[in-house]
Amino acid sequence: MTFLVLLGAPGAGKGTQAPILADRLGLPHVATGDLFRLAVHEGSAVGLEARRYMERGQLVPDSITVKMLLDRLAQPDAGGGAILDGFPRNLAQADILATALAERGSAVGVALEIEVPEAELVRRLSGRWICQANGHVYNESSHPPRVAGLCDLDGSTLIQREDDRRETVAARLAAQLSALREVVGYYRERGLLRTIDGLRPAAEVTEGLLAAARGAVGPGARSSEAKGRVG
- Given this model, what pLDDT does residue 22 score? 94
Q: Give the chain's residues under pLDDT 50.
A: 219-231
Sequence-separated (6 or more) residues with CB below 8 Å from residue 124: 11, 116, 139, 141, 142
- Tell me how many degrees the CA angle 182-185-186 measures, rounded to the nearest 5: 85
Please report the beta strands in 32-178, taking only residues with DSSP state E, as ranges in sequence order. 81-85, 107-115, 128-131, 137-139, 158-159
Q: What was the pLDDT predicted at 61? A: 85
Rg (CA), the chain: 19
Q: What is the pLDDT of residue 218?
A: 56
Are the C-beta atoms of 81 and 109 separated by less than 8 Å?
Answer: yes
Give the DSSP H or E segment for 128: strand 128-131
Predicted confidence at residue 79, as pLDDT, reads 87
Instruction: Report how far residue 35's alpha carbon sits from residue 22's, in angstroms, rounded to the nearest whole number.
Output: 16
Q: Specify the CATH architecture of the domain 2-118+174-230.
A: 3-Layer(aba) Sandwich (3.40)
Q: Which of 180, 170, 188, 186 has the alpha carbon at shortest distance from 226?
A: 188
pLDDT the model gives residue 222: 37
Q: What's the confidence (pLDDT) of residue 229?
A: 45
- The residues assigned a catalytic role are 14, 89, 128, 161, 172
Contact 103, 184 (CB under 8 A): no
Give the pLDDT score at 221.
Answer: 37
Overall pTM surpassing 0.75 (yes/no)? yes
Are the C-beta atoms of 67 and 32 separated by less than 8 Å? no
- 30-48 residue pLDDT tens: 998 888 888 888 888 888 8
DSSP H or E segment with residue 25: helix 14-25
- The amino acid present at 48, given as its one-letter code, is L
| pLDDT of amino acid 227 | 38
Please answer whether residues 88 and 183 qualify as being in contact, where contact means their C-beta atoms are separated by less than 8 angstroms.
Answer: yes
Q: Which residues pair with 54 in a beta bridge?
A: none
Q: So what's the pLDDT on residue 217?
A: 65
Q: First vs last Cα of the chain: how many Å apart?
A: 28
Cβ count near 33 (within 10 Å): 11
Query: What pLDDT score was predicted for residue 201?
Result: 93
Q: Domain locations in the chain?
A: 2-118+174-230
Residues 77-109: tens digit of each pLDDT: 998 899 999 899 999 999 999 998 898 889 999
pLDDT of amino acid 1: 65
